[in-house]
Structures are given as C-alpha cells and as structure tokens.
Amino acid sequence: MSDVIAKKYINALMKSMDSAGLETTLSSLKTLVPAFGSEKFKNILHSSEITSASKEEFILSVFENPDTKLVNFIKLLSTNGRLTEIPFIVKELSKQMALKNNQYEGLLISNFEVAADEIKDIESNLSQKLNSDIKLTNQVTDYPGIKVEVESLGIEVSFSQDRLKAQMAEHILNSL
C-alpha cells in the first residue's frame, strides 16, 4: 500500500520538477530517512496529540534553507497525513531517478573486504555488459563466496564455494 501511495507522490514530483530539482529534493529527503529508525521520531509523527502543522514544522526544521518546492511537498504530505511515507517516497524516487539516469547501485557481498580497484573492474565490466552506469558497495558478511546484486535491475550473480563443492561431488558421482 505504501508503495502505491509513494508512486503517486513521485509522479507528481517528477511532473513538477526538472532533473536538478529532483536530485536536490531526493538528497534533502534522504537526510530524513535515518530519523525514521528512531521510535521517538515515529511516535511524534504518529501522535494524534500533535497537530499536523507542528509535525510539518518539525520535519522542515531538519533542512537548512529548503527550497520552495520541498517546503510545499512537505506541506502536502503533512496536510494529507502522509509524513510517515517519506522513506517509501525516497526509495521509490531513488529507483525512478536511477531509471531516468540509467545509473544503478548494487551490492558486492563477500566474506572478505574486496579491494577498491577490483570493485572498479567489476563495476566497469557490469556497466559495459548492461549498458548502464553501475556502482557497487562491498558488504562483508558470512556468505561463503562472492555475490553481486543489483536489485533495481533484478540481477544477482554469485559464486559460492558450497555450490562449487556440490557440483564437483555431483560430477564425480556421475562419472563413476
């Protein structure tokens, strides 16, 4: 449900702003997203004892010199009781901007830190194959191998030690 609501607001934003305005609005709204991880912050936005005008002022106080369109957008969200939708709006706007600019972010998941130059090589190869600009972030987990995920493109490429062992065992058993 939140995704549907976010898409309606994103469509309105995209029709009312140029690319530079959208980038500015997106970067401003991104600064708010971490605050939604705080229970106190969410309680303020969900409170029926606090007026929507006060919630609006509270949100706007985070920004330094917000432009008129951002202020109007926050006022619109406040008036419609949709301030809690900001994280979904940021996520959806990020996707739409990535599609528009043909730039995508992904994860390089491994159980070790991958060198920056190796990440650049993987980004370059993926960018050439997909005819897009791909940026990867290394995420160190307990995954036994290497996996590249670009969620917005629906791409997942992995090399797992466990899978390789299983395939080798299957091949040996089939050859007997």
- Residue 164 clears pLDDT 70, i.e. is over it: no
**Number of C-alpha atoms within 13 angstroms, CB side, residue 13?**
31
Q: Which of 63, 98, 133 is the last residue of a domain?
A: 98
Q: Does one domain contain both 7 and 89?
A: yes
Q: Which of 48, 75, 98 is the last residue of a domain?
A: 98
Q: Does one domain contain both 112 and 91?
A: no
Distance of CA 102 to the CA centre of its chain: 15
Q: Which of 51, 81, 98 is the last residue of a domain?
A: 98
Q: Does one domain contain both 146 and 86?
A: no
Q: What average pLDDT does the segment 32-37 reach?
A: 91
Q: Which residue range(s) make up the domain with 47?
A: 2-98
Q: Does one domain contain both 170 and 86?
A: no
As a whole number, the mean pLDDT across the chain is 87
The per-residue pLDDT for range 42-67, each reduced to its tens digit, is 898 898 898 989 999 999 998 888 88
Q: What average pLDDT does the segment 14-30 reach?
A: 89
Are the CB atoms for 29 and 96 separated by under 8 Å? no
Q: Does one domain contain both 113 and 71?
A: no
